Chains A and B, each alone.
Chain A
Amino acid sequence: MVSSEKPPSYLVRVMECKQGAVRAVRFNVDGEYCLTCGSDKSVKLWNPHKGTLLHVYAGHGYEVLDARGSCDNSLICSCGMDKSVMIWNVSTGESMRKFRGHAARVNCLAFNEESTVILSGSMDGTVRVWDLRSRRYDPIQILDEAKDSVMTVQVSTPLILTASLDSYTRIYDLRNGQLISNCIGEGVTCASFSGDGQCVLTSTMNSSLKLMDKDTGELLSQYSGHISKDYKVESCFTQSDTHVLSGSEDGNVYCWDLVQSTLASRLQHKGSSVVHSLSPHPSQPFLLTASLGQVWLWSSHSTEDDECS
């Protein structure tokens, strides 16, 4: 069933972040703002719809690899190659806490739904769960089942989804106390739940994008055309789950119809070679992509429509 929802295909804005390479770009919880993680050790808070820089959070010791905003927009959590996870006060810009414990660089982050817990996945093969309510500085739990670098952590409330380079995706079911691990066959660079939580989209290193059933681990669909071999290229669903998006190492973002797995569109990023980070707007058809030092905002409506509205 193909919905009439159009994938984001119009370029709205390109923002030069001026923070070295942008390692990741993330919408905040309501999609009003976005965070960019720079290789110059800073996290920047933007209003992507206006293209304005709001704040710079500096304090990491090395490149920042991922950042997330909490559900109440009061906190920003970032992680990076300095093996630490930092919590920032959004308004004051000061770092509130710093969690140390990972043995290698921290690749990815996720808040839980209430932002009481942070999950951080690291190259040391562990996901550490840090408590924000208490003043503990040691993790609540360490999910060390992965045998290689953990690339993605996602939370969908009773479930924690991790993807690691040992070619497994793992779903930790908190309610049932189960760990469901699925072998994908290649190092998984990105995995994400679909909007309805029934499917898992996995990007692997051999340029393939697979839609898997969450429960059975069966292959539902496969998307190809993009290139993902060397980098941590992210993929995502559109907010309405009609399309599947993936970055590519040829400077495009590929957009497939989810059901028919046909290539719907290609978002060309002129002048950039690798588009590695994607962030779909949580509710509206916007898409943020990051190539080298730039962040691109895409919309499903043309800019004229936006201006009219």
Chain B
Amino acid sequence: MSDSDDDEDFAYYGTPVEQLDEDESIPRKAPRLEDQIAKDKQGRRRFHGAFTGGFSAGYFNSVGTKEGWTPSTFVSSKGQRAETKRVKPQDFMDDEDLGVFGISPQVIQATSNFDSNRDQVQRKRVLDPSGPIPGIPVLEEILRPASETVGVKLLRRLGWRPGQGVGPRVSRQQKRLSKKEKKRMYGCQGPQGGDVGNNSSDGDSCDSDNNTESKITFAPDDVDTLLLPQAKHNTFGMGYIPLDRTPVLGVAASLLNPTPLSFTEKKKKVLIRGQAFGVGAFEDVDDDIYATEDMSIYDFGEDKKQNSEKRDKNAYSQQDKAMFGLTEALKGFKLSSKPHNCIKSYPWPTLPSDFIPLHKPRRRRFERKENELQGLGRHDMTVKQRARSIEEQPKAVVEIRSGVKGYTPKVPPQNVMQKKSEKTLDTSEVDQLYEEFKSSEKKLGSDFKPFSKDPEKQKRYELYLRMKEKGQKGQFYLAQPRGMTEWEKEREVREFARAAQLFQPLTTTMATRFVTASVSDALPQLKDGLNVNVPKVDKTNAGSEEIALLARDTDDDQMKAARMKMYGQMTQTTQDWYPDRLLCRRFNVPNPFPESSFVGLRKTKKEKFSLFGMMNAEIEDTAGLQKPRHKSEQKIDVEEATHQEDGILEDHPETYGLKVPVDGPPTMDLFKAIFQDSDSDTDDDDKKTDDTKPTHKNVEAYHGTANLLPQKLTVLDENEENKSPVTEIQEDPVSRFLSSIRSDQGKQNNADNVTEKRKIDGRRKRVSRFEPQAEDGVHNIQYPNCPSLEPSISIQDSSQSTEQSNFRADLPKPVFVPKKKESVATKPTPSKGIFANVDFSALNSLWNSEASSSQETSTLNNIDQIQPKPGVENSLAEVKGAAHREVDSDSSTDPESEYGPAVPSHLRHQAQMVRSVPTTSVDLVQKLGEKHREKLNYSGWVEKNEGKEKKASKKHKHRDKHKHKKEKRKKEKKSKSHKEKKKKKKKQKHISSSSSSDSSPQSSE
């Protein structure tokens, strides 16, 4: 028990050393340093590697497990979204690392909330300004986490409360005493003093209460904390204040720091305070070892001086005054302490030598220069430049000029160029194709050459255009070089198509909207600009100008006519129009131009007016030997034969020329026709057309009617072909037909005529296409090449012998002759329906008469006026004899009652007519008069006849007008050379034709 008692008495500190087994041998030596190896729990060597500094990681220096480390795969499904994993460093650590001695020991630590280091907290706050109130929360300032030191904790355990002093508890008296002591005492002697004071003050303060209160003890008062100035942070010697640079504003004036040294460094005023130098240990010089040597007492040269000057104002001012030489002031005055500040003046800046006093506005990047504004640059080039660039003769402008002025271009330069290029290029296939298609010689889409850089390509492009024109685009691939791949070929075709579209001639889009003033539309081939074959137009300037002038007025004239309600021929124009072949197919109509792929309207001259202009131009100088104006038709084949045709036509003067003046003195009527006031004349003529000729085709539009002329003419030729020259100037086709007919009859066996005949044959064929089907029979019979003309006549009714005589009379004279209903051979489209029996012309006349009285008179006196008017026919009538006169007189005997508006009477007449047609006598026919010609009853045959006469009358109308113009022009322009040449030519023509023309009147007579 004693032992145990003894044991109990001992206090044990520390952990007892384990008892050693006796079996174990205790190593004698302590292990050497090298042998001491740090090992982990598994006994593996922990540190190894270079200088044993590296440590092993994972499984035998691999990662993680025996199998190694498998990377995590990203898996995310609809139901289970992959979460973004935040990887902690601990994830990559081994167990050892997490141990006490590891890298990241897992020991209990005060969390940051309870960490005294508040910087982290503040930083967090800054990082997360999510609260409504910015800045540090106020409560956090107030409520601080408890951070008690161990000492405080221990004291608390011992019963200490904050605010109490430490020590044994004291009575109240003692405490009071200690307070008194405190007041007297100063410093840290409090506790002792307190005790002392307590003792002394015990007696007097509380006597009576002592008994009760003496048992109550109080904790002693807390000791006042000592006010230590600053903790020592640095490693300098005690009391040494190192040099400290602070900006001026940062200086806190304090008693402890006397005036700091201030100087400017880098234009900043900087104060330096602190002690510069300490006192050396071995220095004896130091008198006052405790004197603080401040920087400010040292002299730093100029700055210091100024500083000192500032400090000593008086000294400064003195010095200043001395400096300005002012030592004394006047009596009653005082020298100013401030220096006089004068206004500073600066000299003018000197201009640099290369300065130009001109403002150049800065050019912006996106602004374009003026020349750039003009486009691709091709507009800037002159014709010559452009031509040079594409290595060809300048053509377009020159040719246009030449066409107008009348000198003929030698060879179409386009062809020259083509041939040249063909020679140089030896792509034989292309050439072949090119030749093939060149023959078509249509105008290309434009004269712009988009591929001029690559002549071969340009050539292919032109070929493409031509093929396109012909509608054989499909063959184009043949022309493409073999070296090209399919893709390239296709691409090129597309490129060409685009180019063709892009550089379409302006005319197609714009020219239709405008009338060009200088280049007349009348010249047929100028329209596309790529004018290759300018016809040899031997026209004077004047003539072409006139045409242009007239062409411009075309619309106006038509409008005028329309306003005057002279509808019909005056207001109608017929042109060839090429429908797309697909359109024809869609409409179930045969293509009228099967071999042409041209689509639309050929923009040719305004034919009507160019014709008249031409005629008038020629009347003057050639006295009827009018050079015909060809190219009136748009037929392709005719165009091909243009040059040939020209020659022929020139050889055949207009046989319908003004013969009357040649043969004898002009009759009065001719002068009348020329000089009479045109108004009455035209009015009458037009009225005639209105009233009497319901079915006029356009004068020049011979598509439907051209073949009718020869028929008429053959009739004429049979008996009185010689009369033909007496008639007025006719349009070319007429003359051509006449001449051809003449040649048929073998009266003139010129080679020219033969060729002409051939040409006309071709023409006939073409014309027949436009002909309504119904007329084919007639047409065949009246084919001009028919060896004998009898069939054409015999086909007529026997009763029409009078008609024939009428026609003979009609043809040469420009008088209106009533349309012969009896001559109806076939009617292409007889009017059906309700109009079949309605006499529109009569109604119309009625209307017209109502409309204007002047017109009315002319209408009513139609025939009377006509008959005496044109002298030509009068003279002719005399020549021709009784039959002819009979016709005229008969036509004039038309009863006026026939014009009456009453429909029933008309119907009656019509009925009569219908009945009487087969056996009409001349009288009856003429009695019926032109008013009763009904649309459905006319025949193309007669219609054409009328059309011709219309022409003649029209010419009368226009002649005087143009004659004046012509004269004027003649005076103005004395370009004699041209005209004389022309005249000569015409005379020759005249002579050549005179054989026929001269003979004809004689024979007729």
- Tell me the A residues contacting B by CB distance below 8 Å: 1, 3, 112-114, 116-117, 125, 129, 131, 133, 140-145, 147, 157-158, 167, 172-186, 194-196, 198-199, 210, 212-213, 215-222, 240-242, 258-261
Contact = CB atoms under 8 A, between A and B. Distances in A.
A113 B587 CA distance: 8
A141 B840 contact: no
B695 A140 contact: no
- Nearest first, the 9 closest Cβ-Cβ pairs linking A and B are A185-B562, A177-B592, A196-B833, A179-B577, A217-B572, A183-B558, A218-B568, A219-B567, A141-B580
B847 A261 contact: yes
Nearest to A237: B834
Contacts of B508: 144
Interface stretch (B299-307, B593-601, B920-928, B972-980): B593-601
Given A114-B586, A141-B600, A219-B844, A213 B832 contact: no
B572 A216 contact: yes
Contact of B574 (A125, A142, A178): A178
Identify which of B555, B579, B694, B840 gathers the most chain A CB atoms within 10 Å of its CB: B579
A158 B587 contact: yes
B576 A217 contact: no
B212 to A, nearest CB: 110
Nearest to A185: B562
A179 B577 CA distance: 5
Nearest to B689: A218
Contact of B903 (A172, A185, A259): A259
A90 to B, nearest CB: 21
A141 B575 contact: no
B568 A258 contact: no
Contact of B586 (A117, A143, A186, A195): A117
Contacts of B512: 144-145, 147
Which one of B562, B577, B592, B697 has the greatest number of beta carbons of chain A within 10 Å? B577
A242 B838 CA distance: 12
B770 A3 contact: no
Contact of A215 (B513, B601, B695): B695
30 contacts: A117-B583, A133-B586, A141-B579, A141-B583, A147-B512, A158-B589, A172-B577, A174-B579, A175-B589, A177-B593, A178-B577, A178-B704, A182-B572, A183-B558, A183-B559, A183-B561, A195-B833, A198-B833, A199-B835, A213-B695, A213-B935, A215-B829, A216-B569, A216-B696, A216-B935, A217-B567, A219-B565, A221-B840, A259-B838, A261-B843
A4 B633 CA distance: 48
Contacts of B601: 145, 179
A147 B770 CA distance: 27
Contact of A112 (B587, B696, B770): B587
B583 A219 contact: no
Interface of B: 508, 512-513, 555, 558-559, 561-563, 565, 567-569, 571-580, 582-584, 586-590, 592-593, 599-601, 690, 693-697, 701, 703-704, 770, 772, 829, 831-835, 837-838, 840, 843-844, 847, 903, 907, 935
A172 B847 CA distance: 29
Nearest to A206: B563
A220 B844 contact: yes
Contacts of B567: 182, 184, 210, 212, 217-219
Most buried by B among A158, A177, A185, A221: A177
A176 B838 contact: no
B571 A184 contact: yes
A177 B587 contact: no
Contacts of B600: 141-144
A212 B572 CA distance: 11
A235 to B, nearest CB: 17
B587 A157 contact: yes
Contacts of A172: 577, 579
A218 B690 contact: yes
Contacts of B579: 141, 172, 174, 177
A259 B770 CA distance: 32
A158 to B, nearest CB: 5
Contacts of B831: 196, 198
B573 A180 contact: yes
Nearest to A115: B586
B770 A241 contact: no
A114 B585 CA distance: 11
A78 B572 CA distance: 32
Q: Of A3, A140, A157, A178, which is in contact with the most chain B CB atoms at under 10 Å from its CB?
A: A178
A174 B572 contact: no
B218 to A, nearest CB: 102
Nearest to A195: B833
A147 B568 contact: no
B576 A177 contact: yes
Contact of A196 (B563, B583, B832): B832
Contacts of A186: 562
Nearest to A194: B833
Contacts of A219: 565, 567-568, 690, 844, 847
A117 B581 CA distance: 13
A181 B703 contact: no
A260 B586 CA distance: 39
B340 to A, nearest CB: 85
A262 B396 CA distance: 59
B694 A177 contact: no
Nearest to B843: A221
B913 to A, nearest CB: 16
B543 to A, nearest CB: 26
A132 B702 CA distance: 35
A183 B571 contact: yes
B844 A218 contact: yes
A178 B844 contact: no
Contacts of A218: 567-568, 690, 694, 840, 844
B587 A216 contact: no
A259 B834 contact: yes
B583 A140 contact: yes
B572 A175 contact: no
B655 to A, nearest CB: 29
A140 B837 CA distance: 40
B359 to A, nearest CB: 45
Which of B508, B690, B840 lies at the interface centre, i.e. has the most chain A CB atoms within 10 A of its CB?
B840
A286 to B, nearest CB: 20
A175 B580 CA distance: 12
A125 B508 CA distance: 13
Contacts of A240: 834
Contact of B559 (A131, A144, A185): A185
A241 B568 contact: no
Nearest to B574: A180
A146 B601 CA distance: 11
A181 B588 contact: no
Nearest to B847: A222
Given A141-B600, A217-B567, A178 B558 contact: no
Nearest to A157: B587
A258 B586 contact: no
Given A131-B582, A180-B574, A174 B589 contact: yes
Contact of B583 (A129, A144, A173, A184): A129
A216 B590 contact: no
Nearest to A155: B587
B599 A178 contact: no
B555 to A, nearest CB: 8
B844 A174 contact: no
Nearest to A132: B586
B847 A183 contact: no
Given A129-B580, A141-B600, 19 more contacts: A1-B834, A117-B587, A141-B583, A176-B704, A177-B576, A177-B579, A177-B770, A179-B574, A179-B577, A179-B601, A185-B562, A196-B832, A198-B829, A217-B568, A217-B572, A218-B840, A219-B847, A222-B847, A259-B903
Contact of A178 (B555, B559, B695, B770): B770
Contacts of A133: 586
Contacts of A177: 576-579, 592-593, 703, 770
A142 B693 CA distance: 34
